[in-house]
């Protein structure tokens, strides 16, 4: 059966997805509050001025962003692939500088380096 839940302050309907995603929060008394009403209530309870409230909200958002960032561990194959990628660029520069001579050898060398770099980039995945 479909259960309709409302925010206790603004009477906005809240779906199960809102509650699961954290856009609605259950208070200690069991009442549901949407995020907009919660920030307004927090602002009123703590007695913030508008400028202080905005600065604290920005700080909280930056903290949330830093928590969600994930860093991919680097392996020696990834570093080797990045170095080989530089050789690809060098081979293309040599091919452009010697475009009147044997360009095919430099382009083939760049192609081999590029395939090696791509292989090293995806070998761990």
Please write the tens of the pLDDT for every residue from 10-40.
Answer: 666 766 776 676 666 666 566 777 777 766 6
Report yes or no: 33 and 27 within 8 Å, Cβ to Cβ: yes
CA distance 78 to 84: 10
- Which pLDDT score is estimated for 3? 67
- Which pLDDT score is estimated for 112? 93
Structure tokens at 30: 């069991």
What's the whole-model pTM score? 0.41
Report yes or no: 19 and 5 within 8 Å, Cβ to Cβ: yes
Mean pLDDT of 40-48: 63
Count of all residues that appear for the chain in the document: 125
Least confident among 38-42, 43-47, 107-111: 43-47
């Amino acid at each position: 059966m479909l259960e309709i839940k409302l925010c206790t302050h603004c009477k906005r309907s809240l779906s199960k997805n809102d509650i699961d995603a954290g856009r609605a929060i259950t208070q200690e008394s069991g009442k549901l509050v949407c995020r907009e009403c919660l920030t307004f209530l927090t602002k009123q309870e703590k007695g913030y001025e508008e400028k202080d409230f905005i600065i604290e909200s920005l700080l909280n958002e930056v903290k949330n962003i830093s928590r969600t960032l994930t860093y991919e561990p680097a392996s020696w194959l990834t570093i080797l692939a990045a170095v080989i990628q530089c050789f690809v660029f060098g081979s293309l520069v040599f091919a452009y500088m010697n475009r009147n001579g044997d360009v095919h050898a430099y382009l083939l060398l760049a192609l081999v380096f590029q395939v090696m770099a791509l292989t090293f980039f995806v070998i761990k995945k």
